[in-house]
Amino acid sequence: MAQANTVDAAQLDSAREAAIRSAFRLEYLTLGWMTVEAAVGIGAGIAAGSLALIAFGADSLIELVSAGVLVWRLTVELRHGQEFAESAERLAARIGGALLGALAVYVVVSAGFKLWLGRGAEFSPAGLALTVVAIPLMYWLARRKLRLADTLGSRALRTDAVESITCGWLAFVVVAALIAQAAIGAWWIDPVASLAIVWFLVREAREAWTGEECCDDCH
């Protein structure tokens, strides 16, 4: 009986290690895509004067840092165990939450300033292409991360999956704004769309800071 329990424990450890390595692959893909998303989003936003695109790119930059932290956290678990990794991740999550909160304040102030001046943005084909690709990619990443988070019992990976979901919704808002901008040409669409993004930023910041996960839309 003792030998059977030892074999079961070894199989469980092997299965957990395989799940962690799958999580590594997803996070490396996230790191690569978020690098592209941040660079193109911020660059296209600056070129077009689009606050919505700049906010989208800045959020991607913060998620890039978050994915890097999660890679570190998974590495720590492999080397030192799960309990040590979870204590380290809480501090990193709060830092990410504070950055998202600061980004939300920046977007509100900038959008109010643009609305006051009556200043809009130019249409961005690069921004539209980027956000159209981001929607299905973020959905796929989120689903895979949620499954692995359940397998590993990892709050950090589940939070990261929620960030991917948020990124997908942000992309949807930007796509809708860019299409409406091209169709209507109203100057106020960009600052109003950027204010819609603030809701997602605040929710994501609160979840990261408190460790709570509002995942009604996760599945």
pLDDT tens readout for residues 44-55: 999 998 999 998
Kind and range of the H or E run holding 104: helix 82-117
User: Does residue 212 carry a pLDDT above 70?
Assistant: no
pLDDT for position 120: 79
User: Does residue 2 carry a pLDDT above 60?
Assistant: no
Confidence band of 6 (pLDDT split at 50, 70, 90): very low
**Residue 68 DSSP symbol:** H
* pLDDT tens profile 143-200: 999 999 888 877 778 878 888 888 898 899 899 989 988 888 888 888 888 888 888 8
* Residue 174, token pair as written in the block: 């930007």
pLDDT for position 83: 57
The residue type found at 113 is F
More confident residue, 94 or 82: 94
Cα–Cα distance measured from residue 219 to residue 212, given in angstroms and rounded to the nearest whole number: 17
Q: Is the pTM of this model over 0.85?
A: no
Percent of the chain with pLDDT over 90: 26
pLDDT for position 3: 47
The residue type found at 50 is S
**CATH code 1.20.1510 for 16-210:** yes
* pLDDT tens profile 100-113: 888 888 889 888 88
Give mean pLDDT, residues 22-26: 91
Cα–Cα distance measured from residue 193 to residue 178, given in angstroms and rounded to the nearest whole number: 9
Cα–Cα distance measured from residue 178 to residue 218, given in angstroms and rounded to the nearest whole number: 26
pLDDT for position 88: 62
Confidence band of 208 (pLDDT split at 50, 70, 90): confident
The CA-CA-CA angle for residues 163, 167, 171, to 5°, reads: 170
**CA contacts within 13 A on the Cβ side of 176:** 11
Average model confidence (pLDDT) across the chain: 82
Domain definitions of the chain by residue range? 16-210
User: Does residue 125 carry a pLDDT above 90?
Assistant: yes
Cα–Cα distance measured from residue 41 to residue 99, given in angstroms and rounded to the nearest whole number: 18
